[in-house]
Amino acid sequence: MSVLVVGTTALDSIKTPKRENPRLLGGSASHAAIASSFFSPTKLMGVVGGDFPAKYIALYKKHDVCTGGLEHVKAGKTFHWSGEYEVNMNNRRTIETVLGVIEHWQPSVPVEYETTPYVLLANIAPQIQNHVLDQMARPKFVVADTMDLWLNIALEEVLRLLKRIDCLVLNDSEARQLTEEDNTVAALPKIHKMGPRYVIIKKGEHGSILSSPKGLFVAPAYPLRKVVDPTGAGDSFVGGMMGFLASQRTGSVDRNLRRAIIHGAVVASFCCEGFGVAVTTKTTRAQIAARVRELEKVAGF
């Protein structure tokens, strides 16, 4: 079945001690949609300015991502994030964020998108996530990603969103922030009480934890020897997960979600191996399948 991905479509400029990587394709929806496209037909909703390179539209198309919901504001500028890595590549700091056309975006869901069964509200303002959900006709499964920024400045909107979605994805520090609970595992039931039946906590290189009515799933990350740029890894994770989930015709949600998380983790591992989507976009289904088999081997006992 098909997946609708809504989120940011951006340009990322990433400086490292060795080189500049100006205006790469970035944004939560770009990473998530490309990741999802490995497994299921994927539709993209986002907004870009007149400065958005045609080659990036071509890149979405290469992955068969439907761009019918990608708005072009010719007179505006694309959301642009620039950041810099320190020498050891461990710390990344933001140099500048220019919201551009995303600041006043009021997305209008195309009629042909309204009945998409799987909806991924990738990281973007929760007002926008809610507004998109208002326009959808009874989706089968809705996943939302979020970030600390929204917990700080738009908590009420996040809480309103939580009552309307099937699954929330967030990282461990965000889970602690949302629940005021130090222990990640103890934070989970508190998040369920806020609405979502499924909660996934991302822990980067340490994997993730799924909490569902059937209990916990402690998922490994793919063990990478070299991380070039983790930007977009979380988005690739949730996109790959959603794409895989939508591709499953049989099996329980719980079992399928476990397999989906493993596939998301593998797509995220490819994302980390290059700047922007450089490596993700060169990845094949066969390479993904090989790493999933490898992960089965390294995690079994």
Footprint of a second copy on 246-285 (CB under 8 A):
258-259, 261-262
Task: Please list, in sequence order, all residues whose beta carbon lies within 8 angstroms of the beta carbon of residue 217, skipping any fewer than 6 positions away.
Answer: 209, 210, 254, 257, 258, 261
Site for a second copy in 173-202 (CB under 8 A): 182-186
On whether the CB atoms of residues 151 and 168 are closer than 8 A, the answer is no
Residue 226 engages a second copy in binding (rule: CB under 8 A): yes
User: Under the criterion CB under 8 A, does residue 299 sit at the interface with a second copy?
Assistant: yes
203 belongs to the binding site for a second copy (CB under 8 A): yes
> Closest approach of Cβ 210 to a second copy, in Å?
9
- Residue owning tokens 């889970």: 175
Between CA 63 and CA 65 the distance in angstroms is 5
Residue from the set 7, 27, 69, 207 that interacts with a second copy by CB under 8 A? 207
CA distance 164 to 176: 21
Residue whose CB is less far from a second copy, 153 or 216:
216
Is the Cβ of residue 87 or residue 111 nearer to a second copy in the bound state? 87
Q: Which is nearer to a second copy, 262 or 277 (CB)?
A: 262
CB 118, min distance to a second copy, A: 20
DSSP class of residue 296 equals H
User: Tokens 């019918």 label which residue?
Assistant: 68
d(CA 47, CA 248): 30
Smallest gap from Cβ 252 to a second copy, in A, equals: 13
Q: How far is the CB of 237 from a second copy (least distance, A)?
A: 15
What does the DSSP assignment read for 192-221? HHTS-SEEEEE-GGG-EEEEETTEEEEEPP
Identified binder of a second copy from the candidate list 54, 55, 58, 88, rule CB under 8 A:
88
Three-state SS at 250: coil
- 53: Cβ contacts below 8 Å, ≥ 6 apart: 23
Q: What is the rounded distance in angstroms from the CA atom of residue 30 to the CA atom of residue 276?
A: 10
Question: How many other C-beta atoms are found inside a 10 Å radius of the C-beta of residue 137?
Answer: 10
Shortest CB 5 distance to a second copy, Å: 24
Among 227, 228, 278, 279, binds a second copy (CB under 8 A): 227
Shortest distance, CB of residue 223 to a second copy, whole angstroms? Answer: 5
Does residue 228 bind a second copy (CB under 8 A)? no
Helix (H, G, I), strand (E, B) or coil at 177: helix
Q: How far is the CB of 258 from a second copy (least distance, A)?
A: 4
Q: Determine the size of the site formed for a second copy (CB under 8 A).
A: 36
Residue closer to a second copy (CB basis): 73 or 279: 279
Q: Verify binding: residue 297, a second copy, rule CB under 8 A.
A: yes
Phi, then psi, of 210 in degrees rounded to 5: -100, 130
Q: Any contact of residue 225 with a second copy (CB under 8 A)?
A: yes
Would you count residue 219 as binding a second copy (CB under 8 A)? yes
Strands (E), 99-214: 118-121, 141-145, 167-171, 198-202, 208-212
Tell me if 290 contacts a second copy by CB under 8 A.
Answer: no
Beta partners for residue 113, in sequence order: none
When asked if residue 206 is in the footprint of a second copy (CB under 8 A), the reply is yes
**How many helices (H) and strands (E) in the chain?**
10, 13
Q: Which residues bind a second copy (CB under 8 A)?
A: 88-90, 182-186, 203, 205-207, 209, 215-221, 223-227, 258-259, 261-262, 295-301
